[in-house]
Amino acid sequence: MFLTSSYTQLENCVEVAGGPGATAVRDSKNRELGTLLFTSVEWSRFLDAVKHDEL
């Protein structure tokens, strides 16, 4: 099940779904463009980089 943020800045929003060992991400306004899949390690590293202003 995809989750959509309740807060959207500048109308840029993604939906995120977690599953065993992977995370799926898609554009909430353009779902037909498909889904990006990340391993748990990749997603964790991405979140850490965001939290530490490394991106």
Tens-digit pLDDT profile for residues 11-53: 778 889 988 899 999 988 888 999 999 999 999 999 999 999 9
pLDDT at 7 over 80: no
pLDDT at 4 over 70: no
- CB-based contact 14:28 (threshold 8 Å): yes
Tell me which residue of 20, 13, 53, 55 sits closest to 37, measured CA to CA: 20
> How confident is the model over 2-15, as a mean pLDDT?
69
The predicted model scores a pTM of 0.73
pLDDT at 8 over 80: no
> How confident is the model over 3-10, as a mean pLDDT?
62
